[in-house]
A = this chain, B = another copy of it.
Amino acid sequence: MTGADNQQERLDGYIAGYVDGEGSFSVSVQRNRTCRVGFQLVPEFHVSQNGDRAQVVELIRGRLGCGYIKPNSKRDRALVFVVRERRALLDSVIHFFERVPLLSSKRTDFEKFAHIVRRMVLGHHRTLAGFGELLEEALSMNGGGRFRQVQWRELVAFQNPQRLYAGQG
């Protein structure tokens, strides 16, 4: 190890620590009529930061070499760094946090996220069975979001009853 490696290890650790506090790995469910089940799964990695101190999101974008920074909302000055592009999620984001792991239980969400993205890269979400399986996993992330879960399960089942259940088991 050289001094430069040492600095790099510390910087990578810094990014993991910052992301463990302010980052989020999520998979949202969105309507999309062009998809077979009428919905799509949208994996997203994001990290927020107060607009007064944008340095960290810029540093993370620079290190990961992907994604974009945008205002979080019109109401405040917060910025958010976002990666949605699937290949960038896999090659950059997931690769990074497998090498430099999160240390809180947010790591469980990251592992589910990585599993879902890998399955999607292989096209598993395009089969009904695969979509159902990934939907279940997505809904179990980030504390489960109980109300959202019920809502989406019912909506998907209502819109595509035979399709969704035909695809399971």
Contact present for A56 and B104 (CB under 8 Å) = yes
Q: Choose among B6, B19, B53, B143 the residue that contacts A17 (Cβ–Cβ < 8 A).
A: B19
Size of interface on A: residues with Cβ below 8 Å to B: 30
Contact present for B103 and A59 (CB under 8 Å) = yes
Q: Choose among B6, B15, B16, B49 the residue that contacts A9 (Cβ–Cβ < 8 A).
A: B6
Chain B residues near A21 (CB-CB < 8 A): 17-18, 21-22, 49, 56
Compute how far the CA of A118 lies from the CA of B12 in the bound complex, rounded to whole angstroms. Answer: 31
- Assess whether A13 is interfacial by the CB under 8 Å rule: yes
Chain B residues near A17 (CB-CB < 8 A): 13-21
Contact present for B13 and A9 (CB under 8 Å) = yes
A20 to nearest B CB, angstroms?
6
List A residues at the B interface (Cβ < 8 Å). Answer: 1-2, 5-6, 9-22, 49, 52-53, 55-56, 59, 100, 103-106, 143
